[in-house]
Amino acid sequence: MTVSLSGRGVGHSFGDIAVLDGLDFEVAPGQVLGVVGPSGCGKSTLLELICGLRRPDRGTIAVAGRITERERLARSAWMPQTDCLLPWYTALDNAALALRNLGHSRVEARAEAGRLFDRFGLSGFEHARPDQLSGGMRQRVAFLRTLVSRKDVLLLDEPFASLDAITRAELQEWLLPVLSAENRTVVLVTHDVEEALYLSDTVLALTARPGRPAAMIEAPPGAGPAREHVVTGAGFGRRREELLGLLKRSPEPTAGERG
């Protein structure tokens, strides 16, 4: 079952600092919403609000029509900006965390999570410790861990930000078919406009803090997996320039933003 996600007039502040303001969004079941915006504009905060780790100061967020934090938390899985792989577990045990928490036996959980390792280009690394993995592999394990939760809503916070350009392009190309096959409702935060357009159905651009909606842009339709064809297409380029223009016009965030 795939569920919808929506926000109405969402706003949030930390103390005196307004971080998000007046956000409306709607994500249909199985769609991917990209969120772009300058550093410190509240993208990570938005994800924490959606998945019920925080309560928004203003407005409501609904996941499958449920608006309480507890019910949103029960339906959404969060991939934090830092991968948060637990160094005392192997790649496989990290990926299987959700199943272990659900009470599956270690053998069962490992078998189920292990089935995905091949598809994620991780076979052979099941028993590696996180510090033995490359940056790209760590991100894939972290994503796998999120996916294995079987939750309907996935909240991905800059999944590829820490990677070099080539690895990032490779992983984007890899993620696109995974997302369409999985049919989950996804919010993907990134500061890479191209990545947002390539992976999302709709892109929400935010202004500098406090993050307000600057634009909502439909990504070019019929995006195929061949990334170099997509990102060089005419419609793609026009939208990319449009988004970049919007982000450039919004003023630089002031000091004190979180990394």
Partner 1 sequence: MKAAGHTARIWLPPLVLVLVLLGLWQLAAGTGFLADRLGLDDFLVPSPAQVAEVLWQDRGLIADNAAVTLVEILAGFAVALLLGLAVATLLHFSDLVRRASYPVVVASQTIPIIVIAPILVVWFGYGIGPKLAVIALICFFPIAVNTLDGLRSVDPDSVRMMRTLYASRSQIFRRVEAPAALPYAFSGAKIAVAVAVIGAVFGEWVGSERGLGHLMLQDNAQLMTARLFASVAVLSLIAIVLFSLIGLVERALLRWR
| Comparison of 112 and 257: residue with beta carbon closer to Mg ion | 257
| Comparison of 69 and 108: residue with beta carbon closer to ligand ATP | 69
Residue 99 CA: distances (Å) to CA of 3, 120, 123, 147, 246: 21, 18, 19, 11, 42
| Comparison of 53 and 74: residue with beta carbon closer to ligand ATP | 53
Q: What is the nearest approach in angstroms of partner 1 to the Cβ of residue 150?
A: 10
| Comparison of 56 and 220: residue with beta carbon closer to partner 1 | 56
CA distance linking residue 51 with residue 44, whole number of Å = 11
Residue 8 within binding range of ligand ATP, rule CB under 6 A: no
Q: Print the binding letters for residues 145-184 with ligand ATP: x by CB under 6 A, - otherwise.
A: ----------------------------------------
Which residues of the chain form contacts with partner 1 (CB under 8 A)?
48, 51, 53, 73, 76-82, 84, 86-89, 97-98, 100-102, 129, 131, 145, 149, 151
Q: What is the nearest approach in angstroms of ligand ATP to the Cβ of residue 176?
A: 22
Residues between 2 and 61 that touch Mg ion (CB under 5 A): 44
The residue among 42, 7, 50 whose CA lies nearest residue 191 is 42
Binding partner at 124 among partner 1, Mg ion, ligand ATP, none, C-beta below 5 to 8 Å by kind: none
DSSP 8-state symbol, 251: P
Residue given tokens 């990290």 in the structure block: 94
Report the length, in residues, of the chain. 259
Q: What is the nearest approach in angstroms of Mg ion to the Cβ of residue 140?
A: 20
* Encoded tokens for 228: 């170099």
Neighbours of 235 (CB within 10 A): 15
CA distance linking residue 95 with residue 149, whole number of Å = 9
CA distance linking residue 34 with residue 32, whole number of Å = 6
Residues between 71 and 90 that touch Mg ion (CB under 5 A): 81
Tell me if 124 sits within 8 A of 137, measured CB to CB: no
Greatest alpha-carbon pair distance for the chain in Å reads: 53
Residues between 30 and 89 that touch ligand ATP (CB under 6 A): 37, 39-45, 81
Q: Name the percent of the chain in helix, strand, coil, to the closest 5.
A: 35, 25, 40
Q: What is the nearest approach in angstroms of partner 1 to the Cβ of residue 23?
A: 21
Binding partner at 78 among Mg ion, ligand ATP, partner 1, none, C-beta below 5 to 8 Å by kind: partner 1
Among 114, 191, 215, 242, binds ligand ATP (CB under 6 A): 191
Residue 257 within binding range of ligand ATP, rule CB under 6 A: yes
Nearest residue (beta carbon) to Mg ion: 44
| Comparison of 21 and 48: residue with beta carbon closer to partner 1 | 48
Q: Which residues of 136-148 are buried (b: 16+ CB within 10 A; e: fewer)?
A: bbbbbbbbbbbbb
